[in-house]
Amino acid sequence: MPKNDLHTIVTDLFDQLEKNREQHLFTLSPREIGTVTSVTSGIARVSGLPGVGFEELLRFPGDVYGIAYNIDADEIGVILLGEDWLLHVGDEVERTGRVMDIPVGNAVIGRVINPVGEPMDGLGTIPFTERLPIERPAHPIMDRSAVSMPLQTGIKAIDALIPVGRGQRELIMGDRQTGKTAIAVDTIINQRGKDVICIYCAIGQRAASVAKVIANLRHHGAIDYTVVVATEGNNPPGLKYIAPYAATSIGEYFMEQGRDVLVIYDDLTEHARSYRELSLLLRRPPGREAFPGDIFYIHSRLLERATHLCDELKGGSLTALPIVETEAQNISAYIPTNLISITDGQIYLSPKLFELGILPAVDVGKSVSRVGGKAQLPAYRTVTGSLKLAYSQFEELENYARFGTRLDDNTKRIIEHGKRIRTWLKQPELHPLSVAEQIVVLLALTEGHFDSISIDDMKLAEAALLEACPQLPAELLDRIYTGTAFSDEDRSFILDFAGQILKAFEID
């Protein structure tokens, strides 16, 4: 290259640099930096941040973040969202000027993330365009509509006797290893094709348990409409504490777009324990069972965000199914009673029923839905009116009959009918049933078509009836699914249809 051309290029480059330097506007941004004074398990104490706000996000070295929670005159108690062993006394702490938030959007569907939005499934980073604070005020009462649409779980005992509506808060409670998570997973699987976004929030669960849930969701194609927000038992207590709030913000994003969302918190007992741990480390005064005084508030402000929005706000809904673990069947313990008072009903799983092999182990007598039939399809209300009463009478008479008392024919008939109701309530895991399948078998059961079939053959008879359900007329199926009231002709047709199939199983 000639020397003149090279000189020209260098001159033009310097001129451009000088022009850019003259046009550049230098801005000063203030930074407020404090110092770590002590570090304990999940907690750090910081000094030197006079302008920090409550629940403001603070940045520590090594990309560790924390939430300013105790703001005293001389120091700040910070809940750490990362590993505390990465921090040392004397480290610098910087304010971020924002509260804890979570990435939201369609890109999170089908992914497994932690409560700060980092992927845990090895599928790469998550593209997002919006972030929402994990703590948001609940929608005011004037923005809400009554709960009227059902959320079908696919579980016979729940859909028939303890219906759940879209926008409801229904508590799932029971001792450990009684099938609480199984009910939640079945409910997620049953939402396939129903345009419901599901969020499974695992709070402090074992890694093997979370992996099993994800594997079941993948196997049944449910991961395509599900977001998994997971924290494991060895994660910092701060991550466990923010997990349900992060999951709720993700759900609210879709709800405010007019979508129906289901959020499962598994479980809030572990959430309360992590908050108790943090509160005691922050030296907040303990109350009953060493829980802090605001333990009720942390759950009420979480579950109050579940609602059904009015049509002016696109009519979306967020249904919450919180799970709580009881000890020795004590449903009157501190945390369970708090959650019972917050939610719109509870599904109680009995260890006695579980040991007897009655799965799912739903105790119908101790379970209730305060929304009830208002969120149930009319077809259910037509056929379940006498079911709960008949089952309650059976349980009472069965206990009475154990004394060897001579029974009259009517009592024997009630007991035999109740045994068939109990057999019908049994359902294998990961096999949710459609509305039409439940209605056909339920109608045949309440009308006594199964009473002439032996208990041993009842499951075979039910399987034959379920297999024949696709043969029902399309018009009848449409009326069932669209919520049209059951007519006498529909009822008679289904009973005749069921009677013909069950005739082969009747006792001679």
**Which SS3 state, helix, strand or coil, does residue 172 take?**
strand
Q: Catalytic site residue 45?
A: no
As a whole number of angstroms, the distance between CA 363 and CA 186 comes to 18
Largest CA distance in the chain: 120
**DSSP 8-state assignment for residue 169:** B
Let me know if 333 is exposed, middle or buried by CB neighbors in 10 A (0-12, 13-18, 19+): middle
As a whole number of angstroms, the distance between CA 230 and CA 214 comes to 10
Residue 223, Cβ neighbours under 10 Å: how many?
22
Residue written as tokens 């399948």? 437
H or E stretch at 57: strand 56-60
**DSSP 8-state assignment for residue 290:** G
Would you put residue 387 in left (φ > 0), alpha (ψ -120 to 50) or beta?
alpha
Q: What share of the chain is helix, strand, coil (3-state, %, to 5)?
A: 45, 20, 35
- Residue of 98, 176, 206, 370 with catalytic role: 370
As a whole number of angstroms, the distance between CA 263 and CA 252 comes to 10
Say whether the peptide bond before residue 360 is cis (omega within 30 degrees of 0).
yes
- Beta-sheet strand order (sheet of 260-266): 112-113, 226-232, 196-205, 260-266, 317-325, 171-174, 345-349, 368-369
Any residues with CB less than 8 A from the CB of 152 and at least 6 apart, and which?
A: 159, 190, 194, 434, 435
Any residues with CB less than 8 A from the CB of 78 and at least 6 apart, and which?
A: 43, 44, 45, 46, 58, 66, 67, 68, 69, 93
Bridge partners (DSSP) of residue 349 are 174, 362
Residues that are catalytic:
370
